[in-house]
Amino acid sequence: MLRRCGFRPTPKDEPSRRLEQTELRQALSEALAELPPDYRTAIVLRDVEGLSTQQAAEIAGVGEAAFESRLHQARLRVRAAIGDEALIDAGR
């Protein structure tokens, strides 16, 4: 029916792709839960909430350089926990 209406499935519509996305979200959630609170806060403020470094640093109560260091370490830990390949595949 959808094809008759002009719908063309994209790779993101495929069931296997949706499963991969679900698994990635679960892995990210678990990796974030394992982070120390300061690192988790850094990732949430910048990568989830989309705040600027300045805004996020103010909320975290640290200087921008300290905040950037926390964010960098947090991202490294998340990448190590779920693997870079999973993040690369998620961008397809």
Are 66 and 57 in contact by the 8 Å Cβ rule? The answer is: yes
Question: What residue ranges in the chain does DSSP mark as E strands?
Answer: none
How many alpha carbons fall within 13 Å on the CB side of residue 18? 5
Q: What confidence score (pLDDT) does residue 89 get?
A: 62
pLDDT per position as a tens digit, 10-57: 555 678 788 888 888 898 999 999 999 999 999 999 999 999 999 999
Mean predicted confidence (pLDDT) in 76-92: 74
Phi, psi (rounded to 5 degrees) for 7: -75, 130
Residue 92 has pLDDT above 70, yes or no: no
Residue 1: pLDDT band (50, 70, 90) is very low
Q: What confidence score (pLDDT) does residue 2 get?
A: 42
